[in-house]
Structures are given as structure tokens and as C-alpha cells.
């Protein structure tokens, strides 16, 4: 949701801020703006639309300020417009603010400020912040070096909701202050300059040393220093963390789009995921975990909880966990789990999956599970992300930064990590199951098989060209293939805007088959040898009604019955989603390209959803 950037140093802030926003645009892209301090005055330049529009604003190249804050917006309060774009100033033009998150009590605060004479010019919740800061600032008669910080802290302690806020004050031209609560924010430390960003990749080309803020911690940035304070403004010490990702991993590297690059990065990404967790001797270890056989044996249930694509990774894990470890396993959508009083206690293990580690619903669900006594594991890609600070155990996918909004390599690496976790649990439990050994062997072969899957993509590209103008596309699968159908359907919706449904193939005849008519496209996924015959029968039902069929399979089937058949390498059915999804990621990608859409930044979506 919204991306924020900040810079203080000796260079002109304007170009650095816009550059940072361009890299954060995947977090939101309906309006953008920057604020700098120019000769002791606050300057704000902003506009509706994409970040690149900022380059056309008169005077933007004349900005001299070496301190500034910036924002790219994904609208929550107030439609996308210049007035609602950030940064926002207070009435006296002393402060400017950018904010990511939602202020839940903004109506009440707006009324309070209005009754004290403040005027508002936007529909945003954010505009109350600079004015509330001004309210406290104007009442403080002590003109010491902490006056700005005090006023900001007094204002923030009245805010409810989630926020990452950067603020400038014209009276303190050598300081910028930030705070966060349930919204991401990192501080990049460099020589004589410091950076702020919602995400590490946006500032990775400037530094690999980062400070991470906890909720309600304040950071005061100057050119040579960053000072930290707790919620009561006691000074605290923090050490930097070094991030191993290199800057080029956040660039397109010659690919047309991040999504295509990330699809092709999957073999490397999952090699990293497997890393030292599983060796050639088929020994599996998770140093992060300390579960005993008794603990695992005593579990009444395992939950996978997540949103969107990450939830599909959980679905892929359910069958594996139940079959290999004999522990009942459920998958839940985080926003549903939270509100249905789930049966969770100290004998429940809750595994949360989140690429970004910042998804508000997933974090809230984790807090709930913890408060019910469950142990919590998070599977995430982002070291130091908010959720890792809440979970009992954090396990990293190591997929490298994922920039495209539609998730690809994050998904496959999540499924790989979950499969490793399943075999690890099976080992701890002492399960004597040939499937476990077979699965381990297959996991080790996955990177090569993924490379093979990506070698020839012509057939899928040609099929995408044929069907890109269609209104509806259906995805069918049974068992584990239904998970792939769901994820493929989501990918297609997200980036092509084609209406799409995924169905458990056996369920189609109980309703949705009414939608199948002459010429409609149906994609069938068949990787489970036990279910192939049943799948073929279900597909025959749609062919009879005139459907065109695209088949993704690793089974020997009579290919003549279908329009196009894409073969993927054989593997253990438990992990077939990792290979079967790849042609379907490309299917969505090529359709989106054919329609001339912005693949990496689909409409209305944001990569990380930090509102509930």
C-alpha cells in the first residue's frame, strides 16, 4: 500500500526521491509527490497519476533542497487526485508529512482540529497529522532542540490505526523524523547521508546497511547521524543490519518486465530456498526450529494462514502435511481466521505465509493465534519484516526481492519451503514413509526441472495470442492440481483483467458447467496419476459443450483430444504445483502483454497490503 521514501545528505534530494518512488511504485501508483526544504521553506510538488508525471511539474528540476520526503499512493481515504496526493502540509506551512497506513480515528481528530480553527483541503486521513503536530508545536513554549520531536510524539500518541510517517519541519532544516506502527519502514545508513524507504530494494543501490524500527520507535535523521527514541522519548541504541541482496536483484536486467524476470529467476530462487536445509545425503534440518517429537505428536492441528497467492502456497502444503506427518491441517484466509473465533490453543501450530511480511491481516491473525497459546512460525521472504518481529519462529524463503505485483518466484519458493518443512516434521516424528524419501529426492531435482520447464515457451505464448481477447477463462484441477488451478486463475485475473474461475473439476457439473459454451477456453491441469482418468472425463464434459482446451500435464495422455498440451517434467505429486504453475504464469503474462497492459503494476492492486 503506498510507498514512502526520504533522503537527507549533501546531494539534491529531488532526483533521489523520485528515483526511490519509481522503485516503490509497485506499492501504489495513483498519485505521487515530494516535499523538500528550500531556503527554510517547505516545498511540495505532487500530482495525480504515475510517479513519472512528477518530472513534468514546473520547477521540479530547480529544487535545491538536500532533505526531503516522498510518497506514491494507493488510495484509501479520498479518490486519487492532486489534492489527496501526499505530502500534506499543516495550515501554517511549517510541517510536511507523508504517511503509509490508515488513521482509524481521523474523524474524531479532524473534528478536534476543526474546533481549534484548523482547515482541511483534502479528503485524506493524513492531513490531520501535520496539523495535529502543529497544534502541539504551537503550544510548546520550550524552544529547545527537542521541540519538533516532542510535538510529533504528542501527535502520534493520539493516532489509532497503522502508520509509517515521515515528517519535515521548516524550523529544523537539518532533521527529518519518522515513526512506525504496523506499517513497514527501513532506514538506510550511508556515509554523510541517510535514506528512508518502505522497502529495502528501493534504496539498495545506495546502501546495504539498514536500521529496522519497532512499533512506536522514533528516529531522528540528520546527515551524519540517526538517533532513536522509544515511545516515551528515552534515547535507545540500535545496530545496523547488513542485507545480502545485491542491487542488481532489484533491477530488470534486460527483461521487459519484472514479472518475466522473476518467472525466469525461479530455478535460482528455489535453489536458494533449498540451500542448506536439505543435503545430498537427504538430511533435512531447520536450525531455526526446536520442535521435539513429543511436541509435534501432541499437536491437534496445524494451520496455514495467509492471503492471496501465499494462501495458495498453504493449500499446496495441506495435503503434504496430512499425508506425510498425519497431522490434521487446515488452510485459512487471514482476514477470515481473525474473525471466526478459530479453535486454536497451545496444541495448535500456526504457520503464517507472507512474501512481504507486512500484510496487515496476516500479522493480526498471527497475534490472535499467539494470544490463544499457539506456537507461530512465519514463512517470509523479507528479513526483519514486521511479521518476523511477532512470530515465535521465522523461516526465510531467500527468493530475493520480488518487485512485480503478481507473485511468481515468491510463490514457488514458499511451496518449496513448505515441502521442506513437511519432510523435516516427518523426520522428527520418525515417520517411516517411502514418500518422504522420494519427496526429498524430488525436491533436490526441482531447480533443474524448473529450468527445463522454462526452456520452450513458444506453445504457451502462441496460445495466449489466440485467446487474449476472451471474456472468461476457466481453470480445472483435482487434488493438488486444484491448487494450481486457483493460483493460475488468480494470476490471470490480476494482470489480464479477464474474468476467470477455478474449479475442483469434479464440482464443475454441479453448477458452473452452465457457463461453458461454444468457444470458451478451459485450462485443465493433470499431474496426479491417480486422478488423470477422472480429469480426462471432466474435460470431455466441457469439450462436448464446445470448449477449447489447454492442458498442463506430466502424464501420458491422448493429446489429440485437446487443443494444446504443455508437458512439464514428472515429479512427486506433492510438489507438482511448483512446475505446473510456471506455464500458467507465462500464460497470464503473455495475455497481459498482448493486451498492452502494465504487467508489473496492474490496476487497483498493490504488492503489500498493509491495511485490513
Smallest separation (angstroms) from ligand G6P to the CB of 379: 9
Of 127-135, 437-445, 539-547, 602-610: span binding ligand G6P (CB under 6 A): 602-610
Helices H, strands E: what count in the chain? 16, 25
CA end-to-end distance (rounded Å), the chain:
11
User: Counting contacts by CB under 6 A, is residue 329 touching ligand G6P?
Assistant: no
Candidates 348, 356, 402; CA nearest to 379 is: 356
Smallest separation (angstroms) from ligand G6P to the CB of 104: 21
CA 49 from centroid of its chain's CA atoms: 22
Of 38-46, 295-303, 356-364, 464-472: span binding ligand G6P (CB under 6 A): 356-364
DSSP 471: S
Candidates 179, 213, 176, 181; CA nearest to 195 is: 176
Smallest separation (angstroms) from ligand G6P to the CB of 612: 12
Cβ(502)–Cβ(453) below 8 Å: no
Q: Annotated catalytic residue: which of 318, 440, 493, 607? A: 607
Of 60-68, 177-185, 430-438, 603-611: span binding ligand G6P (CB under 6 A): 603-611
Of 210-218, 281-289, 293-301, 350-358: span binding ligand G6P (CB under 6 A): 350-358
Query: Measured at CB, which residue is nearest to ligand G6P?
Result: 308
Q: Which residue lies nearer to ligand G6P by CB, 109 or 606?
A: 606
Q: Which residue lies nearer to ligand G6P by CB, 97 or 611?
A: 611
Of 105-113, 209-217, 268-276, 307-315: span binding ligand G6P (CB under 6 A): 307-315
Choose, by CB under 6 A, the member of 23, 71, 181, 607 that binds ligand G6P.
607
Q: What are phi and psi of 470, to 5 degrees?
A: -70, 160
* Helix-helix angle 434-453:409-428, to 10 degrees: 160
Candidates 472, 449, 469, 463; CA nearest to 577 is: 449
- Judge whether 325 counts as a catalytic residue: no
Q: Which of residues 398-417 bind ligand G6P (CB under 6 A)?
A: 405, 407
Q: Which residue lies nearer to ligand G6P by CB, 449 or 607?
A: 607
Choose, by CB under 6 A, the member of 35, 36, 359, 610 that binds ligand G6P.
359
| 3 SS3 class | strand
Of 120-128, 163-171, 542-550, 604-612: span binding ligand G6P (CB under 6 A): 604-612
- Judge whether 347 counts as a catalytic residue: no
Smallest separation (angstroms) from ligand G6P to the CB of 413: 11
Alpha-carbon gap, residue 23 to 166, rounded angstroms: 18
* Helix-helix angle 434-453:308-325, to 10 degrees: 150
Candidates 312, 307, 348, 309; CA nearest to 329 is: 348
User: Counting contacts by CB under 6 A, is residue 609 touching ligand G6P?
Assistant: yes
DSSP 137: H
Q: Which residue lies nearer to ligand G6P by CB, 19 or 414?
A: 414
Choose, by CB under 6 A, the member of 309, 394, 571, 585 that binds ligand G6P.
309
Cβ(196)–Cβ(138) below 8 Å: no
Q: Which residue lies nearer to ligand G6P by CB, 593 or 607?
A: 607
Q: How many residues bind ligand G6P (CB under 6 A)?
A: 15
Q: Which residue lies nearer to ligand G6P by CB, 26 or 106?
A: 26
DSSP 27: G
Cβ(339)–Cβ(365) below 8 Å: no
Cell representation of residue 311? 494462501
Alpha-carbon gap, residue 273 to 381, rounded angstroms: 10
Strand partners, 6: 69, 196
User: Counting contacts by CB under 6 A, is residue 605 touching ligand G6P?
Assistant: yes
User: Counting contacts by CB under 6 A, is residue 355 touching ligand G6P?
Assistant: yes
User: Counting contacts by CB under 6 A, is residue 94 touching ligand G6P?
Assistant: no
User: Counting contacts by CB under 6 A, is residue 331 touching ligand G6P?
Assistant: no
Of 31-39, 119-127, 352-360, 523-531: span binding ligand G6P (CB under 6 A): 352-360
Q: Which of residues 13-52 bind ligand G6P (CB under 6 A)?
A: none
Cell representation of residue 483? 491448487
Q: How many CB atoms lie within 10 A of CB 128?
A: 30
User: Grid cell 539534491 — which residue?
Assistant: 12
Burial of 55 (0-12, 13-18, 19+ CB in 10 A): exposed
DSSP 175: -
Alpha-carbon gap, residue 359 to 183, rounded angstroms: 9
Q: Binding marks (x or -) toward ligand G6P, 248..287, rule CB under 6 A?
A: ----------------------------------------
User: Counting contacts by CB under 6 A, is residue 354 touching ligand G6P?
Assistant: yes
Smallest separation (angstroms) from ligand G6P to the CB of 606: 6
Provide CB contacts within 8 A for 343, sequence distance 6+: 301
User: Counting contacts by CB under 6 A, is residue 362 touching ligand G6P?
Assistant: yes
Q: Which residue lies nearer to ligand G6P by CB, 482 or 600?
A: 600
Strand partners, 351: 304, 377
Smallest separation (angstroms) from ligand G6P to the CB of 334: 8
Q: Annotated catalytic residue: which of 2, 156, 284, 350? A: 2
User: Counting contacts by CB under 6 A, is residue 379 touching ligand G6P?
Assistant: no
Alpha-carbon gap, residue 80 to 114, rounded angstroms: 24
Residues lying near ligand G6P in the complex (CB under 6 A) are found at: 307-310, 354-356, 359, 362, 405, 407, 605, 607-609
The residues annotated with a catalytic role in the active site are 2, 607
Amino acid at each position: 500500500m503506498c510507498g514512502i521514501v526520504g533522503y537527507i545528505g549533501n546531494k539534491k534530494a529531488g532526483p533521489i526521491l523520485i528515483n526511490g518512488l519509481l522503485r516503490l511504485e509497485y506499492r501504489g501508483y495513483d498519485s505521487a509527490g515530494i516535499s523538500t526544504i528550500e531556503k527554510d521553506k517547505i516545498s511540495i510538488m505532487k500530482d495525480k497519476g504515475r510517479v513519472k508525471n512528477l518530472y513534468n511539474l514546473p520547477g521540479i528540476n530547480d529544487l535545491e533542497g538536500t532533505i526531503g520526503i516522498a510518497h506514491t499512493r494507493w488510495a484509501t481515504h479520498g479518490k486519487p487526485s492532486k489534492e489527496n496526493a501526499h505530502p500534506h502540509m499543516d495550515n501554517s506551512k511549517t510541517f510536511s508529512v507523508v504517511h503509509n497506513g490508515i488513521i482509524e480515528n481521523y474523524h474524531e481528530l479532524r473534528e478536534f482540529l476543526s474546533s481549534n480553527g484548523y482547515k482541511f483541503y483534502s479528503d485524506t486521513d493524513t492531513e490531520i497529522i501535520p496539523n495535529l503536530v502543529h497544534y502541539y508545536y504551537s503550544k510548546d513554549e520550550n524552544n529547545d532542540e527537542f521541540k519538533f520531536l516532542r510535538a510529533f510524539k504528542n501527535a502520534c500518541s493520539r493516532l489509532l490505526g497503522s502508520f509509517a510517517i515521515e515528517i519535515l519541519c521548516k524550523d529544523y532544516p537539518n532533521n527529518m523524523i519518522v515513526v512506525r506502527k504496523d506499517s513497514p519502514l527501513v532506514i538506510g545508513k550511508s556515509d554523510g547521508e541517510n535514506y528512508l524507504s518502505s522497502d529495502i530494494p528501493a534504496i539498495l543501490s545506495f546502501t546495504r546497511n539498514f536500521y529496522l524500527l519497532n512499533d512506536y520507535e522514533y528516529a531522528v535523521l540528520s546527515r551524519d547521524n540517526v538517533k532513536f527514541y522509544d515511545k516515551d522519548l528515552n534515547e535507545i541504541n540500535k545496530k545496523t543490519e547488513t542485507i545480502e541482496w545485491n542491487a542488481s536483484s532489484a533491477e530488470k536486467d534486460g527483461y521487459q518486465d519484472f514479472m518475466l524476470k522473476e518467472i525466469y529467476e525461479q530455478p535460482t530462487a528455489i535453489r536458494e530456498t533449498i540451500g542448506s536445509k536439505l543435503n545430498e545425503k537427504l538430511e533435512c534440518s531447520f536450525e531455526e526450529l526446536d520442535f521435539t517429537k513429543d511436541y509435534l505428536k501432541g499437536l491437534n492441528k496445524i494451520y496455514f494462514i495467509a492471503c492471496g497467492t501465499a494462501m495458495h502456497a498453504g493449500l499446496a502444503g495441506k495435503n503434504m502435511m496430512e499425508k506425510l506427518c498425519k497431522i490434521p491441517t487446515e488452510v485459512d484466509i487471514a482476514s477470515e481466521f481473525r474473525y471466526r473465533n478459530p479453535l486454536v490453543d497451545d496444541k495448535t501450530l500456526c504457520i503464517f505465509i507472507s512474501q512481504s511480511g507486512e500484510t496487515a491481516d496476516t500479522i493480526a491473525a498471527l497475534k490472535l493465534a499467539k494470544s490463544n497459546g499457539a506456537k507461530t512460525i512465519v514463512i517470509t521472504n523479507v528479513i526483519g519484516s514486521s511479521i518476523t518481529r511477532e512470530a515465535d519462529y521465522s523461516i526465510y524463503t531467500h527468493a530475493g526481492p520480488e518487485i512485480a505485483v503478481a507473485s511468481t518466484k515468491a510463490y514457488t519458493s514458499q511451496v518449496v519451503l513448505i515441502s521442506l518443512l513437511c519432510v523435516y516434521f516427518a523426520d522428527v516424528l520418525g515417520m517411516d514413509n517411502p514418500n518422504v524419501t522420494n519427496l526429498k529426492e524430488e525436491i533436490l531435482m526441482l531447480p533443474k526441472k524448473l529450468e527445463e520447464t522454462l526452456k520452450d515457451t513458444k506453445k504457451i505464448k502462441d496460445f495466449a495470442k489466440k485467446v487474449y481477447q476472451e471474456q472468461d477463462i476457466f481453470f480445472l484441477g483435482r487434488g493438488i492440481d486444484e491448487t494450481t488451478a486457483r493460483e493460475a486463475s488468480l494470476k490471470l485475473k490480476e494482470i489480464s483483467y479477464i474474468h476467470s474461475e477455478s474449479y475442483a473439476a469434479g464440482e464443475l457439473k454441479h453448477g458452473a458447467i452452465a457457463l461453458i459454451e461454444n468457444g470458451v477456453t478451459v485450462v485443465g491441469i493433470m499431474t496426479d496419476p491417480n486422478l488423470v482418468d477422472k480429469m480426462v472425463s471432466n474435460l470431455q464434459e466441457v469439450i462436448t459443450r464446445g470448449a477449447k482446451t489447454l492442458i498442463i500435464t506430466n502424464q501420458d495422455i491422448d493429446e489429440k483430444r485437446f487443443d494444446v498440451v504443455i508437458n512439464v517434467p514428472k515429479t512427486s505429486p506433492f510438489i507438482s504445483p511448483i512446475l505446473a504453475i510456471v506455464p500458467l504464469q507465462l500464460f497470464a503474462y503473455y495475455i497481459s502483454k498482448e493486451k498492452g497492459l502494465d504487467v508489473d503494476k496492474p490496476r487497483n492492486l498493490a504488492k503489500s497490503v498493509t491495511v485490513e
